[in-house]
Amino acid sequence: MNGPHFSWRSVWLALRSRRTAAVSLLSFSSGLPLGLVWIAIPTWLAREGVDIRIIGLFTLAQAPWSFKFLWSPLMDRFALPLPRLGRKLGWTLLWQVALLLCIVPLGGLSFSPDILWIIGSLTLAIAFASASQDIAIDAYAVEILEPDEQGVAVGARIAIYRAAMFVAGGLTITLAGLWSWPVMFAVLALLFVPMMAVTLLAPKPDADRIHAPATLRQAVWEPFVGFLSKRRALELLAFVVLYKLADNLAGSLVRPFLVQVGFNDFDVGVATATIGLAATLIGTFIGGMLTTAMGLGHALWTFGALQILSNFGYVLIAEIGVNRPLMYGAMGFESLTTGMGTGAFSVLLLRMTQKQFSATQYALFSSLFALPRILAGPVTGVMVDAVGWSQFFWFTIAVGIPGLLMLHRFAPLGAREPEIETPAEIHPRRMSRGRLLVRGLLGGVMAFAMAALAVALLEAVKRQRLAPLADFDLYAPIMDLFLPANLSDWLSLFGVTLFSLVFALATAATAFARSKK
């Protein structure tokens, strides 16, 4: 730990930095409304006897966090008339004021919870303002943090963010039982006052280093073109998807896995909500500090390898069965390495983002980062059904290797820092609209063929496992995919088609970015 590759002085300097403190404290402002919308409001409505079907509709308020990249270009293009704050801090202050004004009325509505359309409108407004605030704060972090501060800031941000979610969620519910919901809504609203003070006192980015887009078209289009024209841009995007893929696949159905193995609800709750949460927070904070000390390249390699190896604990559980010390240890180690990998990976996202498009690009990268986690559930369900738990976890270990191979392309083993800022080394050719269309169609057809083959292969393996004496048949699953007979078949075909459309658009966009304008 005292070798030449470690710099603990940089960690100490980052901890003392006003920039690190400002970015970390602002994350408290991000976590509060998330805990309110996801946890506190549904619990309050349930206590008031609201129909569970209506409460279920309130989960749609989470949509703004998933689609925030749609309006993020507005914050790159336009600035509020607050020149002393700068572009991103000005937007942050606006959304903090909006959140305070949206939360305060909930206290009055606590006496009349039957006015559900007003409560629903306020909940959606809180979610929109919160997602917009996240765009501004993330963009501010991209613009203000120096490379040696990013690791420590990321670790502190996630820890404080989770603490704010706990305050707005679990702690609010507990205190509402002692006091009342109107009081707690008022307290949550007032917590944004000190957050506004943090925004007003936060250090300002160097305006000379950041050239904002001159038009809205540039703010929307240039973030795509600017990144795709980079050398190895596609390899970076592939790495973004693959690096956490093994971790996302293994963790997506871990609770059903533990239940099916035979653990009771208490064991599952302790493992996931207590040990898992604490280990993830500790891992993220430690991962951020170690990333600063050892360099991003070393951190990505070390934590990536640990993430992959941690899934071996689930293989042992699948083979041995109910063993509480083994389960707690495996869950804790996997959560710890997940947090460490997330800390290093979040630093990479900051480095990949261009400062002039900080709002749009970071929103896009974070959405892409979340995509494997969102899609992992349906994929893992099909795989486990086809091969069983033990073979599935072995597969997650194997599927982590391509991510490390992609990492080697821009951060060779032994390199302290990755090379992601190198200008593009391409020879652009003029591409007509017809040729761009052909490129996109070819990419979509190839993606459709690969996805269809993967789905059919999984179904064939499942049938072979159920009838081991029968011949291996790949033709029948392919025909079932193209001739859907039930809802499951239609969903499979829809997933394959959606994947091919996304790949087709990405192929056409890349060809355009690397062609003569």
Integer Cα distance of 274 and 270 in angstroms: 5
Q: What is the tally of helices (H) and strands (E) in the chain?
A: 27, 0
**Residue 378: per-residue pLDDT:** 59
User: What is the three-class DSSP state of 238?
Assistant: helix
User: What is the three-class DSSP state of 468?
Assistant: coil
**Residue 202: per-residue pLDDT:** 92
Integer Cα distance of 95 and 136 in angstroms: 9
**Residue 377: per-residue pLDDT:** 57
Handedness of CA 483, 489, 491, 493 (dihedral sign): negative
**Residue 333: per-residue pLDDT:** 93
pTM: 0.75
Is residue 49 classed exposed, middle or buried when 0-12, 13-18 and 19+ CB atoms within 10 A define those classes? exposed
Question: CA angle, corner 80, sides to 76 and 85, nearest 5?
Answer: 90
**Residue 409: per-residue pLDDT:** 83
**Residue 137: per-residue pLDDT:** 93
**Residue 100: per-residue pLDDT:** 94
Token pair in block for residue 117: 């359309």
Q: Are 19 and 146 in contact (CB under 8 A)?
A: yes
pLDDT in tens, the chain (517 residues): 444 356 667 777 777 788 888 998 999 999 899 888 888 888 888 877 877 677 777 777 777 887 888 888 888 888 887 778 888 999 999 999 999 999 998 877 766 656 788 888 899 999 999 999 999 999 999 888 888 888 888 888 888 888 888 888 778 888 887 888 888 889 999 999 999 999 999 998 876 567 777 777 777 777 777 677 666 777 777 787 788 888 878 877 787 888 888 888 788 878 876 788 788 888 888 888 888 888 888 999 999 999 999 999 999 999 998 899 999 999 899 989 988 988 888 888 888 887 777 778 888 777 766 666 666 655 677 677 777 888 889 988 998 898 888 888 888 888 888 877 654 455 556 667 788 888 889 988 998 998 888 888 877 877 777 777 777 888 888 888 888 887 777 877 887 888 788 788 778 777 776 665 5
User: What is the three-class DSSP state of 146?
Assistant: coil
Handedness of CA 15, 18, 24, 25 (dihedral sign): positive
DSSP secondary structure string, 312-376? HHHHHHHHH---HHHHHHHHHHHHHHHHHHHHHHHHHHHHHS-GGGHHHHHHHHHHHHHHHHHHH
Integer Cα distance of 48 and 114 in angstroms: 9
